[in-house]
Chain A
Amino acid sequence: MAVLVIAEHDNKTLHPSTLNVIAAASKVGDDISVLVAGASAADVADAAAKVAGVSKVLHADNAAYQYQLAENVAQVVVSLAKANGYSHILAPATTTGKNLLPRVAALLDIQQLSDVIAVESEDTFKRPIYAGNVIATVKSNDATKVLTVRATAFDPVASEGGSASIEAVAEVSEAGLSSFEKEELAKSDRPELTAARVVISGGRGMQNGENFEMLYTLADKLDAAVGASRAAVDAGFVPNDMQVGQTGKIVAPDLYIAVGISGAIQHLAGMKDSKVIVAINKDEDAPIFQVADYGLVADLFDVIPELNEKLA
């Protein structure tokens, strides 16, 4: 079975979620090609060629792909799919993958499966629905299976050890429907939220953006990423790319510390697969305690400074 994986990258480095998707791809086929569509992204193509289990890297290098505009990239994927007859096309369920893949699927007249968390067989997959309150087992009857994959549900393959060939994709597709205007990326030295081993999230209980400093201090001690509930984002405490939940990022770290977060269904959808969950909340009836392995009923403004002090 020939499988195509669409690499997530920023033209410089291969995003780790790609490794999780390749792990999912290896469950359906052993002839795995990775598409790197970007601008001056040779380093990414080289990195993809080294990934264990990859047999071929397809490198589409053109200014039209620099910002991953779905209108342009979708056409490349569609022509590759038509030329090579892949059995499966996979992308990570990141904002880039979610933006691109349904466009590809519709152009190929295929019903995509989103956010796949398990591969049962080559045509049957599991995916969460209703904010993760139900897991559906779905069989695809389309000739090609088009899937976005929830990275946290698959252990990544090794980033070294492979020696795939790199093949340039000559076709350039500039759909002329969209153009890049600007980008405002949040800067952070901490590990990325979806890849961090420890995540500390603050909610409405943090009261304001300045108080998040306490969490950043704690995060630096634990080499953790800092997340937030929708309430904290909506209140303007922190930027939206920190949001964990059904409509934000899905994380599954070893340790998730929820601080001042009540634990609404939509938030739990983004973190309840974490290995160990700690809740710090002064309301002992908060729903977060129902999923927390360790709960501390106390004022976060006492607890966090104390933790900062005691975790030298």
Chain B
Amino acid sequence: MKILVPIKRVVDYNVKVRPNGDGSNVDLANVKMSMNPFCEIAVEEAVRLKEAGKATEVIVVSIGPAKAQEQIRAAMAIGADRGILIETDESLEPLAIAKCLKNVVEKESPEMVILGKQSIDGDNNQTGQMLAALCNWGQGTFASEVVLADGKLSVTREIDGGLQTVQLALPAVVTTDLRLNEPRYAKLPDIMKAKKKPLETIALADLGVDTKPRTQLLGVTPPPERSGGVKVADVDALIDKLKNEAKVI
């Protein structure tokens, strides 16, 4: 089976972003960019399924600027076979991304699409669910375990009260949670090999998908600052503060 893995180039998770000068958007000039951590987990899972003989080909796809090629190459270094970049300098909304991905799904006919549960920039947690809806496939969101047997997919999901396992008919969409796996570090020879793997670039306009934005970002602000706290000397002082000053116990 073919597995399609959509990935996203985002601000590195260690970077603390801030609004730009006029508060119109976040300031992303000269910040370090990386593959979204949940996407790395998705690539790792797809590659593991291939290594286990359950998948034949792993295709990564990203929608973003030309520089997103770096993240596609990184996914290939982990073990993806080939890459597709849908190139655009616009920042698309999850619905538009899901529509573009549906277009790729129709061309490539994968039996499974694995994506991250959310990107750490927009924090939307929508694209996988939207893609499943548009394709009319089942969805296994927030997966911490994926078992493929007898043409059925068993996905253990991280839900608020614990874990839930659902069975999905194939083809299906899976979104990864943090505990699904630990992505490997690419070794230098694999990074070199990844440079030779095929990477197809498609202009967004050539897909013929309506990606007109539905929402408008009116502005961004920093969250309210917490007023500076105090350090207390010992447990007695702490209890006293909580009882008499903050009055929370």
Which residues from chain A sit less than 8 Å from chain B, CB to CB? 10, 67, 69-71, 74, 94-96, 98-107, 109-115, 124, 127-142, 175-186, 194, 198, 222, 230, 233-234, 239-241, 246-247, 249, 254-255, 265-266, 272, 275-278, 284, 289, 291-298, 303, 306-307, 310-311
Give min CB distance, A91 to chain B, whole Å: 12
- Candidates B129, B138, B162; contact of A184 at CB < 8 Å: B162
Determine the distance from Cα of A185 to Cα of B156 in the docked complex, in whole angstroms.
Answer: 12
On whether A179 and B167 interact (CB within 8 A), knowing A134-B17, A255-B246, the answer reads yes
On whether A178 and B160 interact (CB within 8 A), knowing A111-B95, A128-B223, A139-B216, the answer reads no
Determine the distance from Cα of A249 to Cα of B142 in the docked complex, in whole angstroms.
Answer: 13
- Candidates A94, A141, A296; contact of B232 at CB < 8 Å: A296
**Contact at A295–B17, with CB atoms within 8 Å?**
no
Contacts A130-B17, A177-B137, A177-B168 known; 5 new A-B pairs at CB < 8 A: A95-B141, A139-B216, A183-B163, A275-B248, A298-B235
- Pairs of residues from A and B, 8 with the lowest C-beta to C-beta distance, nearest first: A177-B138, A102-B129, A111-B214, A106-B130, A106-B133, A102-B126, A185-B162, A255-B248
**Contact at A103–B132, with CB atoms within 8 Å?**
yes
Interface of B, secondary structure class, is mixed
Which A residues lie within 8 Å of B165 (CB)?
A: 180-183
On whether A240 and B16 interact (CB within 8 A), knowing A140-B214, A181-B165, A293-B246, the answer reads no
Interface residue total, chain B, C-beta cutoff 8 A: 83
Determine the distance from Cα of A254 to Cα of B247 in the docked complex, in whole angstroms.
Answer: 10
**Contact at B231–A96, with CB atoms within 8 Å?**
no
**Contact at B231–A247, with CB atoms within 8 Å?**
no
**Contact at B26–A134, with CB atoms within 8 Å?**
yes
Q: Which residue of chain A has the shortest Cβ distance to B131 in the bound complex?
A: A106
Which residues from chain B sit less than 8 Å from chain A, CB to CB? 11, 13-14, 16-19, 26, 93-96, 98, 117-118, 120-134, 136-142, 144, 154, 157-169, 172, 177-179, 213-223, 226-227, 229-232, 234-236, 238-239, 241-242, 246, 248-249
Which A residues lie within 8 Å of B18 (CB)?
A: 133-134
Which B residues lie within 8 Å of A98 (CB)?
A: 125, 129, 141
Give min CB distance, B160 to chain A, whole Å: 5
